[in-house]
Amino acid sequence: MFGKAFSDFVGLLKANAVVLWLALSFCAASAYAADAIPTPTAMPWWVLPLGLFITSFLLGIVAVPSGVGGGVLFVPIVGGFFPFHLDFVRGAGLLVALASALAAGPSLLRGGLADLRLALPMAVLASASAIGGAMVGLAIPANIVQIALGGTILGIVTLMAMAKKSEFPEVSAPDRLSAALSMNGIFHDAARGQNINWQVHRTGKGLVLFLCIGFLAGLFGMGAGWANVPVLNLLMGAPLKVSAGTSSFILTLVDSSAAWIYLNKGAVMAIVTVPSVIGMMLGATIGARLLHVLKASVVRKMVISLLLFAGIRALLKGLGIWI
């Protein structure tokens, strides 16, 4: 009895030690970046890209167990603590989110966790509005974008802290639009060992919200999983796993349309983008494997704290209070 309690305690300690280590490493890297970086030519060119790779790798590890996309962590944190201009950070953020979504998309589609019929109508609207968001984001002054980003991140923190999830929402009948589009399906829930039939409702409201979500994704260069999942799950009534999978798949279209705008405008810098993409993808692979070791609720709380800090930092940076 005592031995089991002790081993449980050691296991918990180990799990939290990993989280603590990640947090400390990240905070140390952030502090270093914030204090020591902006002087040009004071260090070899490769130091910051390497720091960016390590940061993205750590963010990738925590992104999976915390249930948020890498893009939403990447833009405020790298934009707040690295000396790269926010335009390049947003361009990289979009490609980080896109690459992660592309890597996950095929297996999600094959496993039935992403549904093409549910995704396509939403993705068409969201990818169109993402173009508008990207154009607006590149047309207005960076400090305005920074302030708006800070406000949005703080909103996301509130949403993450308060939003509930429903594994299998009750949808008594589909609405006319979803019935006409056959937005329904079956997925195999391995945890329960059974096939789950699902359908959705409130499709019209969902489409309107996806217009807004796409705009924000393009404007800030973030993936929009933080918003997609609540809309699909809580509003439209898709099962949680289908919502998460379909959300990721929608990002493959939304982020690519916005990324084209950034690329054409010249707001993609290889030295910022590629280490971030590779770091995030490697980190996410490790994060997925550590899912059983890391305590998800602890990681989630840590990510919320990190986002809160990054949101305040973005707000103050935009207002010129904390440059």
Q: Does 248 bind another protein (CB under 8 A)?
A: no
Count interface residues toward another protein (CB under 8 A).
Answer: 73
> How many Å apart are CA 145 and CA 21, to the nearest integer?
32
> How many Å apart are CA 69 and CA 60, to the nearest integer?
9
> Positive or negative, the Cα torsion across 287, 290, 296, 298?
negative
Residue 120 identity (one-letter amino acid): L
Q: Does 180 bind another protein (CB under 8 A)?
A: yes
Taking CB under 8 A as the binding criterion, the range among 147-155, 272-280, 295-303, 308-316 that sits at the site for another protein is 272-280
Residue from 34, 103, 207, 240 in contact with another protein (CB under 8 A): 103
**Residue 70's CB: how many other CB atoms inside 10 A?**
31
Report residue 118 as tokens: 């549910």
Quick check: 296 and 68 in contact, CB under 8 A? no
Taking CB under 8 A as the binding criterion, the range among 56-64, 99-107, 220-228, 306-314 that sits at the site for another protein is 99-107
Taking CB under 8 A as the binding criterion, the range among 23-31, 96-104, 198-206, 302-310 that sits at the site for another protein is 96-104
Q: Which of residues 129-158 bind another protein (CB under 8 A)?
A: 131, 135, 138-142
Quick check: 121 and 282 in contact, CB under 8 A? no
Taking CB under 8 A as the binding criterion, the range among 55-63, 228-236, 253-261, 302-310 that sits at the site for another protein is 253-261
Q: Does 117 bind another protein (CB under 8 A)?
A: yes
CB of 44 to another protein, least distance (A): 9
Contact residues for 122 (Cβ-Cβ < 8 A; gap 6+): 206, 207, 210, 228, 232, 250
Q: Does 112 bind another protein (CB under 8 A)?
A: yes
CB of 197 to another protein, least distance (A): 10
Q: Does 222 bind another protein (CB under 8 A)?
A: no
Q: Does 198 bind another protein (CB under 8 A)?
A: no
**Residue 121's CB: how many other CB atoms inside 10 A?**
17
